[in-house]
Structures are given as structure tokens and as C-alpha cells.
Amino acid sequence: MSYIPLSTATKNPVVNDNIELRLQPQQCVTLRQGRDCFATIKVQWQKTMPQSLCLYQVNKKLNDQRRQLKCWENNHQGQINIEFESSETIIYQLRTQQGDRLVAQTKVVVSWLHKNTTRRRHWRLF
């Protein structure tokens, strides 16, 4: 089995090894650049053959630090709602429980309406 490149992971759904991984929504929008974005993300996966899988959240900003969110034992499908809070794009991976092998991944992209500016505004009364 091969790893899914991130360029492929941006498409919804991601399909690999007869597995389908979907996130809804795949984008979180905040008002200003650098501010945390908040959303409830619905994660669903489906596979033709039952398998024991775990869902991980990967933070690229923290040197690919992984956090396990949920595991499913010998299932064809799984679903979980995640409270998303981040100012950065976060990757979600499905990995096998035995062998820690990556089988699918996708991400939630954080974007903003206004770019963060470094200039200060000075107010004058007269």
C-alpha cells in the first residue's frame, strides 16, 4: 500500500485500497489571518472489507505531531464528529491498528477573509 500525496488528499473523497474517507466541511474560514477557526467536522469512512483502523489528527506546525482521535475494531465503516479549533490546516489520517500503516488521509484547510496587517491605526480627535 502506498502513501497518498497531500495533493491528492485535497480532493473529496479520498479513495485508497477500497477505502473512502470524507470530511465535511473541508474548509474552515476565519475573519483574520492567524486567528483560530472553529467548526464541527464530520468524519466518515467506508471500506469494502472490515478492518481495525484508527483516526489521527496531524499538526504539521508541530513537526507532524499525531493525536489519536478514535479507533474502530474490525468494521466496514466509521463516523465521528470533531470540534475543530486551529489557525492552521490540519491533516486527518486513517491508519491500521496493527502496523500503524497509513491507508487514507485528507485535511481541513483554514482560510481567512482579511489578511493580518502589521500596521497600527492611529486615531485623532482633531
Q: What is the pTM of this model?
A: 0.74
Q: What was the pLDDT predicted at 5?
A: 36
Q: What was the pLDDT predicted at 122?
A: 65
Euclidean distance between CA atoms 24 and 12, whole angstroms: 9
126 residues of the chain, pLDDT tens digit each: 333 333 333 344 444 568 899 999 999 998 888 889 999 999 999 998 999 999 999 987 777 789 999 999 999 999 999 999 999 899 999 999 988 899 999 999 999 888 876 666 666 666
Structural domains in the chain?
16-114 (2.60.40.1930)
What percent of the residues of the chain are helix, what percent strand, and what percent coil, each to the nearest 5? 5, 65, 30
Start-to-end Cα distance in the chain: 69
